[in-house]
């Protein structure tokens, strides 16, 4: 008689699923990097209220946050080839649309999606920095980007790390949608395995255990990162107070 639940399938599925972990992590961290860089740029545009760009940024963020990720994947999957076809027709180029890697669509979609959400987190963190410190740094003759690098970002990271960490965890779990674009990562491999042995519950339980373990690991790493930023922030504040007081006395 066939077993209703076979625990051995759970354990035997874990190594087979883990063989696709590098793809999952690649999507997660590259998309997060894109999201952080583009998110910072969008946040600065909104804070500085750059004409036209600021309004376009608001519309872009609203659109990304107001549409499902899976729909964005379909739009990217069909939109990039359409764009390249238009470029070929307009400029008589010869881009090979059929050879586009599936991973490209996933990275673009996830990176843009993260940028929209991260930009709001980063913007709030940047605005949380004490204006007195910014004005003091500017009084020393620093440019905006020098102030951003030396004063604003170090302070803002204390505020931004927890929500950005949660976004990273959400992104890790969201990579399960990559199969829509034809990328075989852990969840897609789980579908393949369960389709072969019809042990859907056992395979997806193994998959859940892996994601759970990865989430716990990321949470621990983020906790260590938060503690280090807190210690670094305490030291930096002491140095800045000393520098500003010295400047006020005219000793520099």
The pLDDT tens digits of the residues spanning 114-168 come to 999 999 999 999 999 988 888 888 888 888 888 888 889 888 988 999 999 999 9
Contact 50, 226 (CB under 8 A): no
pTM here is 0.87
The pLDDT tens digits of the residues spanning 217-249 come to 999 999 998 888 776 666 555 555 554 555 555
Structural domains for the chain: 7-249 (1.10.3720.10)
The pLDDT tens digits of the residues spanning 38-96 come to 999 999 999 999 999 999 999 999 999 999 999 999 999 999 999 999 999 999 899 88
For the segment 20-47, the average pLDDT, to the nearest whole number, is: 96
Confidence of residue 252 (pLDDT cuts 50, 70, 90): very low
Contact 60, 112 (CB under 8 A): no
Task: Name the residue with tokens 């969201």.
Answer: 174
Concatenating the DSSP letter of every residue in the chain gives: ---S--HHHHHHHHHHHHTTHHHHHHHHHHHHHHHHHHHHHHHHHHHHT-TTHHHHHHHHHHHHHTS-HHHHHHHHHHHHHHHHHHHHHHH-----GGG--HHHHHHHHHHHHHHHHHHHHHHHHHHTS-HHHHHHHHHTT--HHHHIIIIIHHHHHHHHHHHHHHHHHHHHHHGGGGGGGT---HHHHHHHHHHHH--HHHHHHHHHHHHHHHHHHHHHHHHHHHHHHHHHHHHHHHHHHHHHHHHHHT--
What backbone phi and psi angles, to 5 degrees, belong to 162? -60, -50
Nearest-angstrom CA–CA distance, 170 and 28: 9
Spell out a b/e string for 6-35, using b for 16 or more CB atoms within 10 Å of the CB, else e. eeebbebbbeebeebeebbebbbeebbebb
């Amino acid at each position: 008689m066939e077993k209703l639940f076979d625990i051995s399938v759970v354990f035997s599925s874990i190594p087979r699923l883990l063989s696709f972990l590098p793809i999952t992590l690649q999507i997660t961290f590259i998309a997060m990097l894109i999201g952080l860089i583009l998110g910072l740029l969008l946040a600065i545009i909104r804070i500085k209220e750059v004409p036209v760009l600021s309004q376009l940024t608001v519309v872009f963020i609203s659109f990304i946050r107001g549409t499902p990720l899976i729909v964005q994947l379909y739009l990217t999957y069909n939109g990039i080839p359409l764009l390249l076809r238009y470029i070929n027709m307009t400029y008589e180029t010869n881009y090979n649309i059929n050879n586009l890697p599936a991973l490209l669509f996933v990275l673009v979609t996830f990176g843009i999606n993260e940028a929209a959400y991260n930009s709001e987190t980063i913007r709030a963190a940047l605005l949380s920095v004490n204006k007195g410190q910014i004005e003091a740094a500017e009084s020393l003759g620093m440019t905006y980007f020098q102030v951003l690098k030396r004063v604003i970002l170090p302070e803002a990271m204390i505020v931004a790390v927890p929500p950005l960490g949660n976004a990273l965890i959400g992104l890790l779990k969201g990579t399960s949608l990559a199969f829509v674009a034809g990328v075989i990562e852990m969840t897609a491999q789980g579908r393949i395995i369960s389709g072969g042995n019809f042990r859907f519950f056992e395979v997806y339980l193994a998959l859940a255990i892996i994601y759970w373990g990865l989430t716990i690991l990321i949470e621990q790493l983020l906790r260590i990162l938060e503690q280090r930023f807190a210690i670094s922030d305490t030291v930096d504040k002491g140095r800045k107070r000393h520098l500003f007081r010295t400047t006020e006395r005219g000793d520099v």
